[in-house]
């Protein structure tokens, strides 16, 4: 299968390039060679490479920056996704769209399933949901995969904590936002399996189990053998421009129904990641 990957330099894109089978022909693109907001450029690339599938990782992911840049976030997350979906329809290609737990408002008391109501609180969450909706409208052959607290090869919470531990004697980490850390390895495995099926629709793809950012940080340092004091604080003590959902744990319900859940417990996946990081 010939697969076009957007956002190939990001942590998920890099993991895709490492994990995909030898019989998959990957066309790796990023902003330097494919501006997804440019309709003519997208059309030209599709005409040239004629992909059978697209894994759409490219996104405007600056959650706080988006609060002051709605147009920029909308252009990438909605218009860019629309351009790709339109070309997928024209070229009979299927599409994987990577979305987010931030499409939910965090007021739930149990893990969100794929068919639970959405209600994003931030510009980032809203534009990612608009991207989902426009893909649904244009393209029947879609897999919308919502993930959360992703880490891999690139800028992420795990690496930030390890870096800060070298610079500071004590860290303060939010303890009242609950979610599910996700190893990019597990997410790519799920994407690979979905692409082998015609089971189109919306999926949740995140690590199993749940924790707060504070608990996540404590576990990172425990597995890494780093001795540092970590103080739990509330969201109110760490004010940021964008509102985050207080509880954004997702259940991989549709994956379980379609093919089985490939995601490990978040602690197990984190320990594996840190072992790889140190090897």
Name the E strands within 101-169.
Answer: 142-147, 150-151
Q: For residues 252 and 261, is the Cβ–Cβ distance under 8 A?
A: yes
Is the pLDDT reported for residue 21 higher than 90?
A: no
Domain that holds residue 11: 2-156+181-208+248-264
- In a domain, residue 164? The reply is no
- In a domain, residue 132? The reply is yes
DSSP single-letter state for residue 275: H
Per-residue pLDDT, 164: 96
pLDDT class of 154 with cuts at 50, 70, 90: confident
Which CATH number covers residue 93?
3.40.50.720
Q: What is the 3-state secondary structure (H, E, C) of 29-81?
A: CCCCCCCCCCHHHHHHHHHHHCCCEEEECCCCCCCCHHHHCHHHHHHHHHHHH
Per-residue pLDDT, 22: 67
Domains identified in the chain, total number: 1
- In a domain, residue 169? The reply is no
- In a domain, residue 135? The reply is yes
Q: Examine the residue annotation and report whether 200 is marked as an active-site residue of this protein.
A: no
Q: For residues 57 and 13, is the Cβ–Cβ distance under 8 A?
A: yes
- In a domain, residue 32? The reply is yes
Per-residue pLDDT, 42: 98
Express each pLDDT in 214-247 by its tens digit. Answer: 999 999 999 999 999 999 999 999 889 999 999 9
Tell the residue number behind the tokens 């739930």, with chain if given: 108
Neighbours of 28 (CB within 10 A): 17
β-pairing, 211-212 vs 150-151, is unpaired
Express each pLDDT in 30-58 by its tens digit. Answer: 999 999 999 999 999 999 999 999 999 99
Does this model's pTM top 0.85? My answer is yes
- In a domain, residue 221? The reply is no
Neighbours of 109 (CB within 10 A): 5
Rg over alpha carbons for the chain, rounded to the nearest Å, is 18
What is the C-alpha separation between 268 and 64, in angstroms, rounded?
Answer: 30
Of 112, 124, 247, 273, the catalytic one is 124
Per-residue pLDDT, 168: 93
Half-sphere exposure of 199 (CA within 13 A, CB side): 18
pLDDT class of 151 with cuts at 50, 70, 90: very high
Average pLDDT of span 73-82: 98
Express each pLDDT in 95-129 by its tens digit. Answer: 999 999 999 999 998 999 999 999 999 999 999 99
- In a domain, residue 241? The reply is no
What is the C-alpha separation between 279 and 277, in angstroms, rounded?
Answer: 6
- In a domain, residue 117? The reply is yes
């Amino acid at each position: 299968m010939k697969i076009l990957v957007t956002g190939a330099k990001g942590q998920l894109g890099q993991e895709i390039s490492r994990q995909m089978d030898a019989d998959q022909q990957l066309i790796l693109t990023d902003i330097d060679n494919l501006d997804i907001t440019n309709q003519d450029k997208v059309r030209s690339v599709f005409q040239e490479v004629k992909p059978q599938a697209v894994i759409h990782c490219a996104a405007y992911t600056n959650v706080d920056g988006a609060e002051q840049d709605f147009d920029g976030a909308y252009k990438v997350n909605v218009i860019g996704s629309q351009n790709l979906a339109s070309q997928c329809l024209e070229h009979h290609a299927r599409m994987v769209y990577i979305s987010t737990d931030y499409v939910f408002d965090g007021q739930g008391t149990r893990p969100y399933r794929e068919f639970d109501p959405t209600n994003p609180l931030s510009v980032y969450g809203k534009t990612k949901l608009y991207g989902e909706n426009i893909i649904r409208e244009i393209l029947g052959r879609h897999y919308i995969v919502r993930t959360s607290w992703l880490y891999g090869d690139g800028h992420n919470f795990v690496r930030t904590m390890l870096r800060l531990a070298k610079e500071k004697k004590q860290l303060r980490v939010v303890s009242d936002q609950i979610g599910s850390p996700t190893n990019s390895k597990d997410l790519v495995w799920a994407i690979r399996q979905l692409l082998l099926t015609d089971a189109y629709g919306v999926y949740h793809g995140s690590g199993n189990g749940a924790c707060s950012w504070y608990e996540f940080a404590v576990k990172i340092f425990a597995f890494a053998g780093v001795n540092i004091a970590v103080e739990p604080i509330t969201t109110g003590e760490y004010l940021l421009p964008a509102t985050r959902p207080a509880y954004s744990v997702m259940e991989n319900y549709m994956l379980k129904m379609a093919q089985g859940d490939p995601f490990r417990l978040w602690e197990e996946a984190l320990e594996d990641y840190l072992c790889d990081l140190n090897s």
